[in-house]
Chains A and B, each alone.
Chain A
């Protein structure tokens, strides 16, 4: 397969992809999606959150899990970076610390897929980032 080098190549690939997606018919309701936020401030980046985010985005796509992967700032848990916040549809957000690629795999398989809690949640009484900020 030839490599994509220009905007014209990109457009062509996109058209191929569009044909495939039309067949699959994805549901486009954000409420039904898993939301993963990766802390991406200085502390997170320095601890390797970029690789973790790339891995999570890649794997969720490969494993056909309908999810949105986005970034957030520092939640104040610099000692436990990289941290991620996972929100399953209809559930409270859960924050995991010290997430490397291996841990991320465990979280995807156990928590996101089967809703089993995985070790490494911080802190236990965590609510949401918004609540945290107002203090």
Chain B
């Protein structure tokens, strides 16, 4: 994965596969603590303790189309390369929380990348799901909620290509205002 936003896209796809209705994506940057924390929370089907132990193993996957599953292992490897960690908490029927900490100023921390594009792909392809995105950086922040978007749009579908363009512009502008692309 070239950047953090692609990891987020990948992990969020797991949530969608787990039949989540609501997905929270949070990024918290703290320069003082030198941490860059990414959290993805869903209300999907969750995993048992046994499966939870296996998901960081590249040779484990829930798929039948191939025998490897690299999404979580790659995310974990990237986090650990910076001196950070990856933690997963899950309960069958309740959902899953995955949290990755990257050391903020570490040279191995990938850049954020095109997070607004990633959010747009997720929202556009899954208009029936509820997405929340919160990005905080040293006390400043930006929050996006697809329910609020839908309210502002009345009956216009959020997946309309023009509307997606507008939303992308809105996210990019707001994130640039809090300097997340640094």
Chain A residues within CB distance 8 Å of chain B: 3-11, 13-14, 17-18, 40-43, 45-46, 50, 53-54, 57-58, 60-61, 69-71, 73-76, 78, 132-133
Residues of B10-24 whose CB lies within 8 A of A = 10, 13, 17
B162 within 8 A of A: yes
If A42-B70, A42-B71, A58-B161 touch, does A10 touch B167 (CB 8 Å cutoff)?
yes
B26 to A: closest C-beta gap in Å: 20
Chain B residues within CB distance 8 Å of chain A: 1, 6, 9-10, 13, 17, 63-66, 69-71, 74, 114, 117-118, 120-121, 124-125, 148-149, 151-154, 156, 160-164, 166-167, 169-170, 173-174
Nearest A residue to B74, CB-CB = A42
List B contacts of A58 (CB < 8 A): 161
User: Are A73 and B153 within 8 A (Cβ)?
Assistant: no
- B-side interface mostly: helix
Q: Contact partner of B65 among A14, A53, A70, A74, CB < 8 A? A: A74
Nearest A residue to B169, CB-CB = A4
Nearest A residue to B70, CB-CB = A42
List B contacts of A76 (CB < 8 A): 65-66
List A contacts of B10 (CB < 8 A): 41-42, 45
If A5-B174, A42-B70, A42-B74 touch, does A10 touch B13 (CB 8 Å cutoff)?
no
List B contacts of A5 (CB < 8 A): 170, 173-174
Q: Which of B74, B118, B125, B169 has the most CB of A within 10 A?
A: B125
Cα(A60)–Cα(B124), bound, Å: 15
User: Are A40 and B13 within 8 A (Cβ)?
Assistant: yes
Q: Contact partner of A18 among B121, B125, B156, B167, CB < 8 A? A: B156
Q: Contact partner of A17 among B6, B162, B174, CB < 8 A? A: B162
Q: Contact partner of B166 among A4, A18, A46, CB < 8 A? A: A4
B125 to A: closest C-beta gap in Å: 5
Nearest A residue to B63, CB-CB = A74
User: Are B161 and A50 within 8 A (Cβ)?
Assistant: no
List A contacts of B164 (CB < 8 A): 57
A-B contact pairs, 28 of them (CB 8 A): A3-B173, A4-B169, A7-B149, A8-B152, A10-B153, A10-B166, A17-B163, A40-B125, A41-B13, A41-B71, A45-B1, A46-B1, A46-B6, A50-B9, A50-B117, A50-B121, A53-B121, A54-B117, A54-B120, A54-B121, A57-B161, A58-B161, A70-B125, A71-B121, A74-B65, A78-B66, A133-B64, A133-B65
